[in-house]
Amino acid sequence: MRYGYFDDKNREYVITQPDTPLPWINYLGCQAYFGIISNTAGGYSFYRDARLRRVSRYRYNNVPYDLGGRYIYLRDDESGEFWSPSWQPTRNDLEDYTCRHGLGYTIIGSRYSGIEAHSTYFVPLDEDLEIWRLTVTNRRSKPASLSVYSSIEFCLWDANDDATNFQRNFSIGEVEIEDGTIYHKTEYRERRNHFAYFACSRKTEGFDTQREAFVGPYRGWEKPLAVERGKLSNSVAHGWAPIGAHRVKLQLGPDETQEVIFLLGYHENPPEQKFDPPASQTLNKKTVKPVIAKYLNFADVDAAFEKLRQYWDGLLAVCQVETPDVHTNRMVNIWNAYQCMATFNMSRSASFYESGIGRGLGFRDSNQDLLGFVQMVPARARERILDLAATQLPSGGAYHQYQPLTKRGNNDVGSNFNDDPHWLIVGVAAYLKETGDWSILDEPVPYDNAPGSEQPLYEHLQRSFQYTLDRLGPHGLPLIGRADWNDCLNLNCFSDTPGQSFQTTTNKDGKVAESVFIAALFVLAGRELAEIARRRGRTDEAQRYLAEVARMEDTVREQGWDGEWFLRAYDDFGRKVGSKECAEGKIFIETQGFCVLAGIGLDDGRAQAAMESVAKHLATGHGIILQQPAYSRYYLELGEISSYPPGYKENAGIFCHNNPWVMIAETQVGNGDRAYDYYARINPSAREPISELHRCEPYVYAQMIAGRDAPTHGEAKNSWLTGTAAWNYYAVTQWILGIRPTFEGLEIRPVVPKGWRGFKATRLFRGVTYNIAVTREGEGNQVALKVDGEPWEGTVVPAPVEGQREVTVEVTLK
């Protein structure tokens, strides 16, 4: 069953039923000011950091889940009836409800009692504010006399404090109201120099800023007393819960349309110009007023909306494909690229599954996310790499996370996730291949943000590599530390105390437990580093790296192979994890995908065997599960992985992040049919017809789909912020379609299904547009290229002569 449809032409998903199985959300903003918005207008906004600069309030674990948001009420002032055009919070029986989630904007509307109303929500580029543009049309045969009520609940900035520290919070709320604009200025009197505002384009009939005055005692947002009564009381919040609410009257003749703009924004003043007059406690509004005036103007709002559309058109134009499969086209051309930008902006911080008060930016996560967005925003990728590298520790290890606002490593989570440092090499290599900007390697970057410790970025990569060599275990494999990519395989944790964090509690100093996954990652990253060294003329270093890589490959072959598949790890007792010998957890996906992806076993049949084992033991119709058999009980020596009921999350769930590793591995062994088949199984668009089972948004990937051991096999959870976005984009564009940036130039080497007659693509690469047409003439993966009509040796297209902006590439597959 579907709850809407894809409008590919407008690059929108159109939801036609408000009660989707879960809130289906979108993101507003793509630079500094962000909002989450559900299909019924629920959600919240923040400036840069979802924890430290929360603009509007959101209650966790709410019922319904997305309650609290950007709510507009319409009231028929003759009958007294009122409703929300976005369905929530009043939940009237609306006609023609639609929510159009587009790129950076959402339009929600409906018709009720002859009145059509829809709101367009978006954040203009380069501004720290959001626009709610409401359009109301009277479809009755008689004039209508209506009132519009806006509402927003302010957060007292630190979202964690806001949800916990009531003894203080109930006394600190402060607002100012001037010319119909409501200013939220809690804590501005002391150490903050930022405030929020809520403005309206029309003359208002009153306002409310104290929540209880608006909703009334013992009521909620679904039936605010002020709206029911038809009158706001001009309440001024002193403490308690500051909100913003306006009332605007609309007189509409038959078929007449009128519009109202509401603006919710964030603004900073220089610390020495906080007040006006300077000796007062009154907000200085000199610099904010022009911004407000501008965006209360319809022409400026139109222009800003158009600019936003062009911005997204520009980003998506970097890679457009036309394949025989609508789901591939839609995801590559629109939604997967869009989701990659969301993971770039949010990392794992703020969604309806990530609270925004928990995690900062993950070191490994952000480096992997780069694989999905570097081609769209290379300059911002550069900045992200340098920020990440600056949190690296002198040992080569890394803080597992850092806070986006401070850009400092997060001490609560600490380090010792022994895979982390290698992802920096992977990220930097992807950046170099995309941009050819070798200057980044010479950028001075500190360790642990300590002034004076700056070294060229290249040295950071060297330390990343060395980090593992300094930490080898009894079998010569890398020690795992707190965890490797699988945060839940905690082989040194041994936690028996409720509430302890599996990630940050380490009860053993861990000189035994080893990770075959890190070994594979080391091989992949080591090869990249060797190539980087060689190209910088450091031949000796390159050779040393390659020698270490070769040694590690041998070790994996000798110590990390189980006969039919790659082992996963050795635990703290030196016992195998992910082996036939184990009672449960005999085979894991990560090492099958990643060893092959790193090239291990391609020449000795192990790669093929590992792929067969995945197909036999792990592949399901809903995707490939993480391991089998699922752990049926808690294993002290394995940690969080065995804490989950079978089939969920890392305990034999379909953890979508790693499925693309197998897709890529299948292309490495030349099996395009299988690579594509795995791709299609978890493609959200392809799963749209089973939305009642899948439950999450059909336009973005979710972190997890319940595995076959779960009672809810096929049900997705944790949509949006997941490494799945970048890895799927990377797998399908670079390995299945085979359009792959390399150090040398753009390589084109598709491994697509045998049944595909061909496909077309345009790819903007280092300032040149490559128009690519692939035609199948045989069943294999042999590639023959013609570049601008001339046959070309090999699979890497050369850079065109200076000044040439377009290149035509004809590819024949035999």
List the beta strands (DSSP E) in 601-659: 619-620, 623-624, 627-628, 654-655
Closest CB 727 distance from ligand GLC, rounded Å: 11
Closest CB 466 distance from ligand GLC, rounded Å: 23
Measured from the CB atom, the residue of 90 and 703 that comes closer to ligand GLC is 703
Closest CB 661 distance from ligand GLC, rounded Å: 12
Establish if 354 lies at the interface with ligand GLC (CB under 6 A). no
Closest CB 644 distance from ligand GLC, rounded Å: 7
Establish if 485 lies at the interface with ligand GLC (CB under 6 A). yes
Closest CB 736 distance from ligand GLC, rounded Å: 23
Tokens of 753: 């299904």
Measured from the CB atom, the residue of 53 and 359 that comes closer to ligand GLC is 359
Find out whether 517 and 568 touch, Cβ atoms under 8 Å.
yes
Number of residues near ligand GLC (by CB under 6 A): 17
Measured from the CB atom, the residue of 11 and 348 that comes closer to ligand GLC is 348
- SS3 at position 229: helix
Q: Which stretch binds ligand GLC (CB under 6 A): 11-19, 360-368, 528-536, 708-716?
A: 360-368
Measured from the CB atom, the residue of 660 and 745 that comes closer to ligand GLC is 660
Q: Which of 364, 382, 687, 694 binds ligand GLC (CB under 6 A)?
A: 364
Q: Which of 201, 222, 226 is nearest to 212 (CA)?
A: 226
- SS3 at position 426: helix
Closest CB 123 distance from ligand GLC, rounded Å: 26
Residues 149, 150, 155, 159, CA torsion sign: positive
Q: Which of 486, 515, 613, 734 binds ligand GLC (CB under 6 A)?
A: 486
Measured from the CB atom, the residue of 343 and 579 that comes closer to ligand GLC is 343
Residue that has been written with the tokens 């970048």 in this structure: 726
Tokens of 70: 């950007």
Closest CB 482 distance from ligand GLC, rounded Å: 10
Q: Which of 158, 208, 640, 666 binds ligand GLC (CB under 6 A)?
A: 640
Establish if 365 lies at the interface with ligand GLC (CB under 6 A). yes
Give the integer Cα–Cα distance in Å for 739 and 421.
Answer: 27
Give the integer Cα–Cα distance in Å for 431 and 438.
Answer: 9
Establish if 369 lies at the interface with ligand GLC (CB under 6 A). no
Give the integer Cα–Cα distance in Å for 518 and 489.
Answer: 13
Distances (CA, A) of 362 to 371, 425, 484, 623, 766: 15, 15, 13, 25, 28
Closest CB 630 distance from ligand GLC, rounded Å: 15
Establish if 488 lies at the interface with ligand GLC (CB under 6 A). yes
Residue that has been written with the tokens 């189980």 in this structure: 562
Find out whether 101 and 24 touch, Cβ atoms under 8 Å.
yes
Q: Which stretch binds ligand GLC (CB under 6 A): 101-109, 140-148, 479-487, 608-616?
A: 479-487
Establish if 51 lies at the interface with ligand GLC (CB under 6 A). no
Closest CB 493 distance from ligand GLC, rounded Å: 11
Closest CB 401 distance from ligand GLC, rounded Å: 9
Find out whether 760 and 779 touch, Cβ atoms under 8 Å.
no
Q: Which stretch binds ligand GLC (CB under 6 A): 91-99, 214-222, 359-367, 535-543?
A: 359-367
Q: Which of 362, 481, 623, 653 binds ligand GLC (CB under 6 A)?
A: 362
Q: At 615, phi and psi to the nearest 5?
A: -60, -40
Give the integer Cα–Cα distance in Å for 161 and 436.
Answer: 45
Give the integer Cα–Cα distance in Å for 746 and 811.
Answer: 13
Interface positions, 585-624, toward ligand GLC (CB under 6 A): none
Tokens of 609: 């065997």
Q: Which stretch binds ligand GLC (CB under 6 A): 188-196, 278-286, 378-386, 483-491?
A: 483-491
The yes-or-no answer on residue 276 being catalytic is: no
Establish if 649 lies at the interface with ligand GLC (CB under 6 A). yes
Give the integer Cα–Cα distance in Å for 218 and 225.
Answer: 10
Measured from the CB atom, the residue of 650 and 688 that comes closer to ligand GLC is 650
Distances (CA, A) of 789 to 322, 745, 808: 21, 18, 7
Closest CB 301 distance from ligand GLC, rounded Å: 37
Residues 544, 546, 548, 551, CA torsion sign: negative
Consecutive H or E run containing 386: helix 378-390
Residue that has been written with the tokens 């570049």 in this structure: 787
Measured from the CB atom, the residue of 691 and 722 that comes closer to ligand GLC is 722
Give the integer Cα–Cα distance in Å for 84 and 71.
Answer: 7
Q: Which listed residue (484, 487, 562, 709) is catalytic?
A: 487
Measured from the CB atom, the residue of 371 and 809 that comes closer to ligand GLC is 371
Q: Which stretch binds ligand GLC (CB under 6 A): 4-12, 300-308, 484-492, 708-716?
A: 484-492
Residue 564: partners with Cβ closer than 8 Å, 6 or more residues away: 580, 609, 610, 612, 613
Establish if 548 lies at the interface with ligand GLC (CB under 6 A). no
List the beta strands (DSSP E) in 227-296: 242-252, 257-268
Find out whether 462 and 421 touch, Cβ atoms under 8 Å.
no
Give the integer Cα–Cα distance in Å for 597 and 732.
Answer: 14
Q: At 560, phi and psi to the nearest 5?
A: -115, 15
Interface positions, 385-444, toward ligand GLC (CB under 6 A): none
Establish if 348 lies at the interface with ligand GLC (CB under 6 A). yes
What number of other Cβ atoms are within 10 A of residue 176's Cβ? 18
Binding mask 697-736 for ligand GLC (x = CB under 6 A): ------x------------------xx-------------
Which residues are known catalytic residues?
Answer: 487
Residue ranges that bind ligand GLC, judged by CB under 6 A: 348, 359, 362, 364-365, 485-488, 503, 640, 649-650, 657, 703, 722-723
